[in-house]
Amino acid sequence: MNGPESQDGLRINRTLTIPGGELRFKFSPSGGPGGQHANKAATRAELSWDVASSRAPGPRQRQRIGHKLANRIDANGVLRVVSDTHRSQLRNRQDALDRLGQMVADALKQEKKRVSTKPSRAAKERRLQAKKKRSSVKGLRRPPVSD
C-alpha cells in the first residue's frame, strides 16, 4: 500500500527544506502484539527520500549527507526511515519525518575543530613534582652503594 507523498516540505535547517513531493511513504502492517488491530491496520510507516536525485540540497550538502549517512543510503541513493513504534499510522508517519529530519540535520552539522592547548605552568610543575617523588621512592628500593 503506497500512501500519498507529503505535500508540505520537511524543513531541516534555515538553508534546506526537502519538498514534500520528494518524500514517499509506504505503509504496511506493523507486526508484534496487538491482536486484530495489528493484523488489520497498516500502521508501520516507511519513509523514503531519493537523496541522489533530489534538487533540495546543494552539491556540497548532498556530498556531506551521502558521506555521513552512507550506511543508511542504499545503492540507488535512497534514504529510508522505518517507524513502527506507535499503534497509530499518523504517529508513526510523524515519527519517521522527525527522525529523517534529525538524521539529515545531524549529517549537515559542522564539527568544531579542536584547538590544541599547551599545559599550564602549574600542570607542568605538578607533573615534575610527581616524577621526582616517584624517582625518590624507587631510589629508596635500591640497595645501598658501597664505596
Q: How confident is the model at residue 4 (pLDDT cuts 50, 70, 90)?
A: very low
On the question of pLDDT at 1 being above 60, the answer is no
Cell of 68: 555521513
Cα 129 to Cα 145: distance, rounded to the nearest angstrom = 25
Q: What are phi and psi of 82, to 5 degrees?
A: -115, 135
Q: Which residue in 15, 19, 20, 17 sits closest to 5, CA to CA?
A: 20
User: What Rg, from alpha-carbon coordinates, does the chain have?
Assistant: 28
- Across 43-48, average pLDDT: 88
Name the CATH topology of 10-108: Double Stranded RNA Binding Domain (3.30.160)
Locate the domains of the chain by residue range: 10-108
Q: What b/e string do you get for 38-62 counting C-beta neighbours within 10 Å, with b at 16 or more?
A: beeeebbbbbbbebeebebbeeebb
Q: pLDDT by residue (tens digit) across 8-39?
A: 788 888 888 888 888 999 988 877 666 777 67
